[in-house]
């Protein structure tokens, strides 16, 4: 039988994408860090009626890159300090391209033995790197939010099973009581996970924290003494504003004593466990029951990539396994039994490549270098009139606030920050810390250099001066 449809070659589109990607990456350190256009303006370039007739693939790629460019943020670049954002290591980025070309479905062993094997291996490497119990199971999730979801689902399973209740089958109506406890400064994603699990985010008991955002062990002890039913304690390694760590060495024995499930959200802070000079910050972490960490933050793997790690792998599998007669389990690792999704990207390849290209020492050096640069940034901003350093820089986060010569420091802080964001040398975001406006600088990209930090610090100081000198006159124009 002859076939009138010719198989289109991907070569021209891939070559166009390769050229455009190289151009983008080469310009990344020098382009304005913030976007030059907002989504509303960009829609004009990207919109229009869906063409009735298809276009040449390479032409589509050119058009896409051209239209999207003004709305791209240089978040993979060396002076993006927003949120907690890693760049992309060369090996991880290249592996991610191959992942798209291979287009494997990572759900079942039968769909891709390579995807099953890579997640098994990369998962073991991560567990060893963080010094967690060797039996720990790892699910490769989209992000830390879904890793928190998967880990807390495992916790829910285990605590219900202890009382003879099959929560996956029977649900929560009539289930034995569960109490969730989380620190005052727990990340919002914990509450997102809890609400999806049917445990109610408003029912989470908040445990008091100290001025740096660290959970107070005595407050946890008191709350557990009063709590009803099975308890899940959510501790944190790396608070998003200050980078501070809950005192895990004190929390672990308390959780143990009360037979609570201890989960550690270490989306970025758990990487301290991989850095010899910082490991003391997570002392005791291996005594928890589950851990969350992101690959797309400090490992500098492209989006998306998180890891749910659970000591009792059977609990994670019980909570996540998908069952259907046509989805026959092979006896080998079924990646889909460790995460909420079924069909998904084989994100283990990029993690394996990142870990392999850095090596154990390289991961530690990347993390330690970012922390040294955060201290360098803090030193450049310390003792500046009108600039207040709000945290002790224990990790990679620098929290600052600006003060006008007279007037409202909250409004002034937001105005200086808007000026910095518009100026383009660097970019970071605002927050509210202890009731006041603040700005958080996060250094999480392995390609950031001392020169980048010095350039950014100079731009921050120049924006502070400009806002103080002519703020009221020019504030509108700078936004």
Ligand X SMILES: *Cc1c(COP(=O)(O)O)cnc(C)c1O
236 vs 335 by CB, closer to ligand X: 236
Query: Among residues 115, 76, 181, which one has the least CA distance to residue 341?
Result: 115
191 vs 261 by CB, closer to ligand X: 191
DSSP state of 33: S
Least separation in angstroms between residue 240's CB and ligand X is 5
108 vs 305 by CB, closer to ligand X: 305
Least separation in angstroms between residue 427's CB and ligand X is 17
Provide φ and ψ at 323, rounded to 5°.
Answer: -125, 130
189 vs 421 by CB, closer to ligand X: 189
84 vs 463 by CB, closer to ligand X: 84
Least separation in angstroms between residue 345's CB and ligand X is 15
Least separation in angstroms between residue 214's CB and ligand X is 13
147 vs 167 by CB, closer to ligand X: 147
Distance from C-alpha of 277 to C-alpha of 172, rounded to nearest angstrom: 44
Q: What is the CA radius of gyration of the chain?
A: 24
85 vs 112 by CB, closer to ligand X: 85
62 vs 431 by CB, closer to ligand X: 431
Distance from C-alpha of 337 to C-alpha of 323, rounded to nearest angstrom: 9
DSSP string, 13-57: HHHHHHHHHHHHHHHTTTS-SS-SS-HHHHHHHH-SPPPSS---H
Q: Which residues have C-beta within 8 Å of that of residue 324, sequence separation ≥ 6?
A: none
Least separation in angstroms between residue 288's CB and ligand X is 14
Tokens read off for 321: 């396994």
157 vs 187 by CB, closer to ligand X: 187
Least separation in angstroms between residue 299's CB and ligand X is 12
307 vs 402 by CB, closer to ligand X: 307
DSSP state of 268: T
34 vs 238 by CB, closer to ligand X: 238
**Degrees (nearest 5) of the Cα angle 72, 439, 419?**
60
Question: What is the Cβ-side half-sphere exposure of residue 33, based on CA atoms within 13 angstroms?
Answer: 24
Are 109 and 333 in contact by the 8 Å Cβ rule? The answer is yes
Task: Show the beta-strand stretches assigned E in 288-334.
Answer: 290-294, 306-310
What does each C-alpha distance from 31 to 65, 243, 294, 425, 440 come to in angstroms?
15, 28, 27, 8, 21
Question: What is the Cβ-side half-sphere exposure of residue 49, based on CA atoms within 13 angstroms?
Answer: 3
Least separation in angstroms between residue 468's CB and ligand X is 32
Least separation in angstroms between residue 102's CB and ligand X is 24
Q: Estimate to the nearest angstrom the gap between the alpha carbon of 8 and the chain centroid.
A: 38
Tokens read off for 9: 């070659």
Tokens read off for 424: 């383009």
Least separation in angstroms between residue 92's CB and ligand X is 16
Strands of the 429-433 sheet, one edge to the other: 387-389, 397-402, 436-442, 429-433
Peptide bond into 304 cis (omega under 30): yes
List the alpha helices (DSSP H) in 199-271.
Answer: 217-226, 248-257
Least separation in angstroms between residue 216's CB and ligand X is 18
Q: Which long-range contacts (CB under 8 A, 24 or more apart) does 319-325 make?
A: 319/150, 319/153, 319/154, 319/156, 319/157, 319/168, 320/139, 320/150, 320/153, 320/154
132 vs 227 by CB, closer to ligand X: 132
Least separation in angstroms between residue 169's CB and ligand X is 29
Which residues are bridge partners to 431 per DSSP?
438
Residues forming contacts to ligand X in the complex (CB under 6 A) are 84, 143-145, 187, 189, 236, 238, 240, 265, 267-268, 294, 306
Least separation in angstroms between residue 303's CB and ligand X is 9
């Amino acid at each position: 039988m002859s076939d009138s449809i010719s198989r289109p070659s991907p070569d021209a589109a891939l070559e166009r994408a390769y050229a455009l990607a190289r151009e983008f990456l080469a310009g990344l350190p020098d382009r304005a860090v913030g976007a030059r256009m907002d989504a509303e303006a960009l829609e004009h370039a990207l919109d229009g009626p869906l063409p009735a007739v298809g276009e040449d693939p390479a032409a589509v790629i050119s058009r896409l890159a051209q239209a999207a460019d003004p709305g791209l943020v240089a978040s993979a670049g060396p002076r993006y300090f927003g949120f907690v954002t890693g760049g992309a290591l060369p090996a991880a980025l290249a592996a991610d391209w191959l992942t798209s070309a291979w287009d494997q479905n990572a759900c079942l062993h039968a769909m891709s033995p390579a995807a099953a094997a890579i997640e098994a291996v990369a998962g073991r490497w991560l567990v060893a790197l963080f010094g967690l119990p060797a039996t720990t199971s790892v699910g490769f999730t989209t992000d830390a939010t879904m890793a928190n979801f998967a880990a807390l689902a495992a916790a829910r399973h285990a605590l219900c099973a202890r009382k003879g209740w099959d929560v996956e089958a029977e649900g929560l109506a009539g289930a034995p009581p569960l109490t969730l406890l989380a620190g005052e400064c727990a990340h919002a994603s914990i509450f997102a996970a809890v609400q999806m699990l049917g445990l109610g985010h408003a029912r989470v008991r908040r445990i008091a924290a100290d001025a740096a955002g660290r959970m107070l062990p005595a407050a946890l002890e008191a709350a557990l003494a009063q709590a009803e039913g099975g308890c899940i304690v959510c501790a944190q390694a790396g608070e998003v504003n200050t980078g501070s760590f809950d005192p895990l060495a004190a929390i672990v024995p308390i959780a143990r004593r009360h037979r609570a499930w201890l989960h550690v959200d270490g989306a970025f802070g758990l990487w301290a466990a991989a850095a010899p000079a910082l490991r003391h910050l997570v002392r005791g972490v291996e005594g928890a029951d589950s851990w969350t960490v992101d690959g797309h933050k400090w490992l500098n793997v492209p989006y998306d990539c998180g890891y749910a790690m659970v000591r009792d792998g059977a609990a994670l599998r019980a909570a996540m396994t998908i069952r259907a007669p046509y989805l026959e389990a092979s006896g080998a690792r079924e990646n889909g039994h460790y995460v909420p999704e079924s069909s998904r990207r084989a994100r283990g390849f990029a993690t394996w490549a990142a870990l392999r290209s850095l090596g154990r020492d390289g991961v530690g050096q990347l993390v330690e270098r970012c922390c040294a640069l955060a201290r360098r940034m803090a030193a450049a901003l310390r003792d500046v009139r009108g600039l207040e350093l709000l945290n002790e820089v224990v990790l990679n986060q620098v929290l600052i606030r600006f003060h006008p010569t007279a007037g409202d420091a909250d409004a002034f802080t937001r105005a200086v920050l808007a000026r910095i964001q518009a100026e383009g040398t660097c970019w970071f975001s605002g927050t509210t810390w202890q009731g006041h406006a603040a700005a958080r600088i996060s250094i999480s990209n392995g390609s950031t250099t001392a020169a980048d930090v010095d350039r950014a610090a100079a731009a921050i100081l120049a924006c502070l001066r400009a806002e103080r000198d002519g703020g009221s006159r020019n504030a509108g124009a700078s936004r």
